[in-house]
Amino acid sequence: MRTDKIKDISKVCHYLAKDYAEDFLRILVNYTDISASEAASRLDMHIQTAQEFLEALTVMGYVEKTTVIDKKRPYFRYRLIRDKIVVEIDLLSLKEEKNSAEGSNYRIREKMYADVKFTTARYDDYIANVVIWTGMGRNKKERRISLTVPQGKFLYHLPFPTAKHETIASIMKKAALNNEHLPEIMDIVNLLIEYESIEKMEP
């Protein structure tokens, strides 16, 4: 099975990171088939651990299990059906170009009475960091977000709460930012919308 999905890769790596993984895989490669109890006995581990490992490899498509009937009761035998485990991550699949392009038409401004502080950089015209407070009273928490330079330039030109809403595209133009910066701009905008620090005008 070839996989490039982060969740699937996490499952594969979770089991491959086990201390006994190499020894277990060596058995699967060299044995025609094996039961969980036989593998547990051979590796000196709890049968439940062996069963879990074999079932995980079965679900992920590396191992095939068959039911065998003996005099006592049915049980499973496991056989390796793949000779390679290929883990490949397509990082470009994480790039949200479509959502970013649509988001550039958002009309936004700083939200009135938001519990947020924008700190301007000392020598340049951009915001260095954003501090957001959440919760109330003794449960109030502070979250400080360090910004990239493009994000800082964008937020420097963010309309004030009393100003008219502007599109993200027009704010980026004022900040002299290119479209290549749009994904990271959308990331910080969506985060600040989530924390109710930026107000988005509904269509």
Please indicate, yes or no, whether residues 106 and 192 belong to a single structural domain of this protein: yes
Asked if residues 168 and 85 have their Cβ atoms less than 8 Å apart, the reply is: no
Please indicate, yes or no, whether residues 178 and 105 belong to a single structural domain of this protein: yes
Last residue of a domain, one of 87, 122, 155: 87
Q: What is the 3-state secondary structure (H, E, C) of 25-92?
A: HHHHHHCCCECHHHHHHHHCCCHHHHHHHHHHHHHCCCEEEEEEECCCCEEEEEEECCCCCEECCCHH
| Residue 46 CB neighbours (<10 A) | 10
Please indicate, yes or no, whether residues 79 and 175 belong to a single structural domain of this protein: no
Helix (H, G, I), strand (E, B) or coil at 147: coil
Please indicate, yes or no, whether residues 68 and 115 belong to a single structural domain of this protein: no
Long-range contacts of 64-73 (CB under 8 A, 24+ apart): 66/33, 68/35
Please indicate, yes or no, whether residues 82 and 171 belong to a single structural domain of this protein: no
Last residue of a domain, one of 30, 65, 87: 87
Q: Cα–Cα distances in Å, from 160 out to 32, 37, 78, 172?
A: 71, 68, 65, 15
Domain count, the chain: 2
Please indicate, yes or no, whether residues 102 and 188 belong to a single structural domain of this protein: yes
Last residue of a domain, one of 25, 58, 87: 87
Closest CA to 130 of 176, 178, 193, 173: 193
Please indicate, yes or no, whether residues 60 and 100 belong to a single structural domain of this protein: no
Closest CA to 156 of 173, 170, 169, 175: 175
Q: Cα–Cα distances in Å, from 39 out to 29, 51, 94, 145?
A: 12, 9, 39, 50
CATH number for the domain that contains residue 25: 1.10.10.10
Pairwise CA distance, residues 151 & 156, whole Å: 9
What's residue 203's pLDDT?
61
Pairwise CA distance, residues 54 & 50, whole Å: 6
Please indicate, yes or no, whether residues 38 and 111 belong to a single structural domain of this protein: no
Please indicate, yes or no, whether residues 196 and 105 belong to a single structural domain of this protein: yes
Angle between helices 21-30 and 47-59 (to 10 degrees): 70
Please indicate, yes or no, whether residues 26 and 74 belong to a single structural domain of this protein: yes
Please indicate, yes or no, whether residues 122 and 40 belong to a single structural domain of this protein: no
| Residue ranges for the chain with pLDDT beneath 70 | 1-5, 94, 96-101, 203
For the whole model, what pTM was predicted? 0.65
Q: Provide the domain limits for residue 180.
A: 95-200
Please indicate, yes or no, whether residues 139 and 83 belong to a single structural domain of this protein: no
